[in-house]
């Protein structure tokens, strides 16, 4: 974290960073150059990256249990493509223009909610949210939403299109203090619920029928997990765009480190996901400085090879599913 | 302790799979439900642990309606060993067994001494102490079955339901599992595969009540009393099926492909 705040176009020593942070917490941020850089620009950015990393990791870990597939991603459920439609509509068509700077957030949250509701409605079958149903409906509806996005881009003007593309790849470049409360509250609420359910998550990881025989109300649990993960992923997309692979790879790495018991996976995931994202953002800012790389590029670059290595190392986990 | 099914019917996707079945499993006794694929064994058992909702009939646990109990309470009375071999997630054997304590726990409850003791005892009882540190996914079929039985024992229920517990196991593992089950002293209802490797003779040797279920619409399963000699009380004869082995007259024939796939 200190590193994330300290490194940048203007290098700052850890001591300076902590001095400014201490002053800021005490209520009177310094008006020096270092003070403004740390307190106004870098600190909110690092905190936002940490929150988004934690939220995506948690959402990923839960979605993997929900669809009983260790290769699932929180965006599988259509949230990201729905949010993209909302955001593209804001940037290209001027929807919600009256909301000013909030328009993108509102647009993408609205899009995510619509996508979530659609996937939920379509994949509900007689026996609740069946994993295969959920995956198929998520993928199909994602494709549909993506085509809507593509259509909007095709019709839009080239300059706005570049903004859309940048947003689609994810960035923390617009971070500010007033963006933090909503994701922080969403993450806190979700974590409280999930930690309360950690034991039943383990039972659900056994499959729906064994979970039922262990006294778990599978139908209700799945519905709640779906809502919680979609909201977390939706909020994450709203503040930072679509950042892939974090929700897929980080839960994996965490499971390799602490095993599969969700009472350990979830808290470790929050810490690890946050650190991963802060480091990723650090790389995004520094690799091609003074330009900034979209963080989605970084996470995919680190995430994809990591995942391939994992898959090759543990064939018995991926080869023999029913 | 007793488990009684009264006039149970189950529909799946609009089709009647189990029709008006009544049976009882007695105290401290292993009751085996035998029948060919598609005869509705699994469906009957799944109705007991709420995967299927019965269209008609009742399930009585010591005279009380099992399906009216809250799911958690029911899970503390009835534990299940079902067919599950694949877990996407890599739990150790000890973690798997600890999951059996789920119905005894509320939100945020930690593991207590009692939970660990119950898990250790279950691991010991089912003879998988040497596997405790292993990853469940790397075990053999027979070892997995032992661990799943340990998980059900850790659940602390006085009734146990087993769905084809010896399926896919070689004869040595089948005997090991049957010996373990026979010695548990709980009310046990098991859907046993009517395979050639687990003839009623083996089940009887371990003191099981054997119920033969022929076909879903044949009504009440046939009850064969325990420890009778083979053939002395032959159930419904099926002379229309060629290839039956005359020396073991009361084994439902499985050499014929059963038409409906067992759900």
Sequence-distant (6+) residues with CB within 8 A of B148 are: B81, B82, B84, B96
B50/A320 CB distance under 8 A: no
Q: Which two tokens stand for residue B43?
A: 């469906």
Contact yes or no for B71/A216 (Cβ under 8 A): yes
Residue B139: inside a domain: yes
Nearest CA in chain B to A252: B89
Residue with tokens 């997995």: B144
Residue B242: inside a domain: no
Domain ranges of chain A: 2-314
**Burial class of residue B44, CB neighbours in 10 A (0-12, 13-18, 19+):** buried
Sequence-distant (6+) residues with CB within 8 A of B95 are: A202, A259, A260, A261
User: In chain B, which among 92-111 make CB contacts under 8 A with chain A?
Assistant: 92, 95, 99-100, 102-103, 105, 107-109
Other beta carbons less than 10 A from residue B238's beta carbon: 12
- pLDDT for residue A59: 94
State the nearest Cα–Cα gap between B120 and chain A, in angstroms: 18
Domain A2-314: give its CATH code: 1.10.3470.10
Q: Dihedral through CA A197, CA A199, CA A203, CA A204, nearest 10? A: 30
Residue with tokens 């403004």: A36
Cα A149 vs. chain centroid, distance in angstroms?
20
Dist. CA B146–CA B219, nearest whole Å? 33
Contact yes or no for A141/A122 (Cβ under 8 A): yes
What residues in chain A have per-residue pLDDT under 50?
316, 318-322
Nearest CA in chain A to B156: A214
For strand B208-212 and strand B222-224, is the pairing parallel, antiparallel, or unpaired? antiparallel
State the nearest Cα–Cα gap between A205 and chain B, in angstroms: 7
B86/A320 CB distance under 8 A: yes
Return phi, psi of residue B222, to 5°.
Answer: -80, 130
pLDDT per residue, tens digit, chain B (263 aa), is 788 999 899 988 888 888 888 888 888 778 888 777 777 888 889 999 888 889 999 999 988 999 999 999 999 999 999 876 667 788 999 999 999 999 998 888 888 999 999 999 999 999 889 999 998 988 888 899 899 999 999 999 989 998 888 777 788 888 888 888 878 878 888 876 555 445 566 666 666 777 777 665 655 666 665 544 444 344 433 334 344 334 444 444 444 444 444 44
B88 touches chain A (CB under 8 A): yes
Dist. CA B163–CA A291, nearest whole Å? 62
- pLDDT for residue B74: 92
A205/B89 CB distance under 8 A: yes
- pLDDT for residue B34: 79
**Number of domain units in chain B:** 1
The shortest CB-CB distance from B105 to any of A199, A217, A259 is to A199
Q: Among B125, B106, B105, which residue's Cα sits nearest to residue B114?
A: B105
SS3 state of residue B142: helix
The shortest CB-CB distance from A215 to any of B46, B72, B84 is to B72
- pLDDT for residue B22: 87
Residue B254: inside a domain: no
Q: Which two tokens stand for residue B23?
A: 């049976």
**ipTM of the complex, rounded to two decimals:** 0.79
Residue B28: inside a domain: no
A200 touches chain B (CB under 8 A): yes
Contact yes or no for B226/B208 (Cβ under 8 A): yes
- Sign of the C-alpha dihedral, residues A89, A95, A100, A102? negative
B138/A316 CB distance under 8 A: yes
Q: Taking CB atoms and an 8 Å cutoff, what residues of chain B touch A260?
A: 89-91, 95
Largest CA distance in chain B: 60
Mutate: best of B77, B99, B136, partner A, most A CBs <10 A: B99
- pLDDT for residue B225: 58
Print the SS3 string covering chain A: CHHHHHCCCCCCCHHHHHHHHHHHHHCCCCCCHHHHHHHHHHHHHHHHHHHHHHHHHHHHHHHHHHCCCCCCCHHHHCHHHHHHHHHHHHHHHCCCHHHHHHHHHHHHHHHHHHHHHHHHHHHEECCEECHHHHHHHHHHHHHHHHHHHHHHHHHCCHHHHHHHHHHHHCCCCCCCHHHCHHHHHHHHHHHHHHHHCHHHHHHHHCCHHHHHHCCCCHHHHHHHHHHHHHHHHHHHHHHHCCCCCHHHHHHHHHHHHHCCCHHHHHHHHHHHHHHHHHHHHHHHHHCCCCCCCCHHHHHHHHHHHHHHHHHHHCHHHHCCCC
- pLDDT for residue A139: 87
- pLDDT for residue B165: 81
What is the domain extent for residue B138? 71-224
Read off the CATH number of the domain in which B151 is found: 3.40.50.300
Q: Can you give the pTM of this predicted structure?
A: 0.83
Q: Which two tokens stand for residue A269?
A: 């995931």
Dist. CA A95–CA B54, nearest whole Å? 51
What is chain B's alpha carbon radius of gyration, rounded to the nearest angstrom?
18
User: In chain A, which among 273-292 make CB contacts under 8 A with chain B?
Assistant: none
B154 touches chain A (CB under 8 A): no
Size of interface A-B (CB pairs under 8 A): 92
Residue with tokens 């599992």: B177
Residue count of chain A, please give it: 322
Q: How far is CA A151 from CA A91, B22, B41, B92, in A?
A: 13, 61, 53, 49
Strand-pair partners of B32? B190, B210
- pLDDT for residue B241: 39
3-state helix, strand, coil in chain B (%, to 5): 30, 25, 45
- pLDDT for residue A164: 79
- pLDDT for residue B110: 85
Q: Taking CB atoms and an 8 Å cutoff, what residues of chain B touch A317?
A: 88, 90, 137
User: In chain A, which among 222-251 make CB contacts under 8 A with chain B?
Assistant: none
- pLDDT for residue B233: 41
Residue B145: inside a domain: yes
Q: Taking CB atoms and an 8 Å cutoff, what residues of chain B touch A197?
A: 107
State the nearest Cα–Cα gap between B218 and chain A, in angstroms: 27
Return phi, psi of residue B34, to 5°.
Answer: -110, 145
Q: Taking CB atoms and an 8 Å cutoff, what residues of chain B touch A213?
A: 49-50, 75, 78-80, 82, 161
């Amino acid at each position: 974290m200190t590193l994330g705040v300290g490194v940048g176009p203007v290098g700052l020593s850890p001591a300076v960073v902590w001095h400014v942070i201490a002053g800021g917490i005490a209520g009177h941020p310094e008006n020096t150059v270092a003070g403004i850089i740390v307190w106004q620009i870098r600190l909110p950015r690092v905190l936002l990256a940490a929150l988004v990393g934690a939220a995506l990791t948690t959402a990923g870990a839960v979605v993997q249990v929900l669809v009983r597939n260790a290769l699932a991603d929180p965006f599988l459920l259509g949230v990201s493509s729905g949010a993209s439609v909302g955001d593209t509509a804001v940037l290209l068509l001027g929807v919600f223009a009256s909301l000013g700077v909030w328009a993108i957030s509102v647009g993408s949250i609205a899009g995510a909610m619509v996508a979530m509701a659609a996937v939920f409605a379509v994949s509900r079958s007689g026996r609740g949210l069946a994993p295969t149903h959920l995956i198929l409906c998520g993928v199909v509806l994602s494709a549909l939403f993506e085509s809507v996005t593509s259509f909007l881009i095709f019709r839009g003007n080239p300059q706005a299109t570049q903004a859309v593309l940048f947003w689609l790849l994810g960035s923390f470049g617009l971070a500010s203090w007033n963006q933090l409360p909503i994701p922080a509250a969403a993450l806190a609420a979700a974590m409280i619920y999930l930690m309360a359910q950690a034991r039943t998550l383990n039972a659900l990881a056994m499959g729906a029928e064994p979970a039922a025989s262990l006294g778990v109300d599978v139908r209700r649990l799945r519905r709640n997990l779906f809502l919680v993960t979609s909201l977390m992923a939706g909020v994450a997309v709203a503040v930072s765009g679509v950042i892939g692979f974090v929700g897929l790879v980080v839960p994996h790495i965490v499971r390799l480190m602490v095993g599969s018991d969700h009472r350990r996976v979830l808290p470790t995931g929050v810490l690890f996901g946050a650190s991963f994202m802060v480091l990723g953002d650090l790389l995004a800012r520094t690799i091609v400085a003074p330009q900034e790389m979209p963080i989605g590029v970084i996470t995919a670059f680190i995430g994809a090879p990591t995942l391939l290595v994992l898959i090759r190392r543990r064939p018995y986990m991926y080869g023999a599913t029913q | 302790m007793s488990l009684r099914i009264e006039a149970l019917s189950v529909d799946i996707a609009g089709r009647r799979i189990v029709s008006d079945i009544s049976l009882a499993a007695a105290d401290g006794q292993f009751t085996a439900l035998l029948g060919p694929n598609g005869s509705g064994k699994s469906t009957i058992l799944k109705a007991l642990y709420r995967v299927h909702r019965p269209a008609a009939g009742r399930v009585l646990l010591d005279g009380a309606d099992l399906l009216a109990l809250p799911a958690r309470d029911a899970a503390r009375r009835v534990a299940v060993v079902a067919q599950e071999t694949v877990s996407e997630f890599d739990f150790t054997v000890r973690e798997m067994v600890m999951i059996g304590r789920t119905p005894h726990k509320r939100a945020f409850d930690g593991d207590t001494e009692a939970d660990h003791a119950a898990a250790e005892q279950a691991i010991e009882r089912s003879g998988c102490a040497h596997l405790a540190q292993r990853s469940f996914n790397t075990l053999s079929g027979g070892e997995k079955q032992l661990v799943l039985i340990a998980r059900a024992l850790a659940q602390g229920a006085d009734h146990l339901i087993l769905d084809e517990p010896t399926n896919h196991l070689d004869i040595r593992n089948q005997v090991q599992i049957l010996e373990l089950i026979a010695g548990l002293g709980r009310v046990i209802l098991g859907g046993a595969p009517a395979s050639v490797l687990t003839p009623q003779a083996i089940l009887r040797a371990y003191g099981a009540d054997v119920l033969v279920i022929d076909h879903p619409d044949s009504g009440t399963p046939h009850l064969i009393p325990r420890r009778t000699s083979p053939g002395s009380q032959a159930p419904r004869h099926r002379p229309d099926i060629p290839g039956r082995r005359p020396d073991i007259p009361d084994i439902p024939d499985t050499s014929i492909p059963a038409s409906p796939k067992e759900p």
